[in-house]
Structure 1
Amino acid sequence: MSKFIICVDLYLSDKNSLSDYGKLKTKMLENISFSHKFIDDENGKEYNLPITQYLYIGEITDLGEIKEIAESIVSKINRPYFITIAECISILGVGHEQ
């Protein structure tokens, strides 16, 4: 099975308005790396948020399923976006690095 990263590029009109992100209740949330802080309502964890999010979604073989997950994420965010899907060679380095 292949591992994939979904990259969702968001165009944020107001980077300080993070209420949309608090509503993301997906299995990917633990794997999102950010650079602007917000607290997840569900588990109380603090996250950082960049304009580009790299969402590691684990072992998925069906590209149609990846597309559905990506569309589900952006439908909750409700902002303009591009989606790119990339196959991981390794899970090392998944996420946003400074």
Structure 2
Amino acid sequence: MQGSVFDTTKLTLIYCNRSPAHVIAKSTLAPLHNMFPGRFRWLNVLSTDGGEKKEADDEDVKPFVVGSRLTRAMLEANLPPPSDQVCVVFCGPP
């Protein structure tokens, strides 16, 4: 994303975790979210809040707690519709 000022690629990362304590690479992802607010969206899907209080530095990345797994409705609400210009990559268990 930092390679060219002319690159307008948009990226959405839907990151599923058990709780905020399980979010790996938060210190790497949060700056990207802040540096490229119009191009990089980071959505946390958490099955529980883990009973943890939200920290002040978490304000920019608001997770939504679902109590279950990622749903089709979440994907449809947060990803662009299929087209030749869209690439969706999936990683993790089915």
TM-score (normalizing by structure 1):
0.31
Higher RCO, 1 vs 2 (CA within 8 Å, ≥6 residues apart):
1
Structure with more of its chain in strand, by fraction: 1
Report the TM-score, using the length of structure 2 for normalisation.
0.32
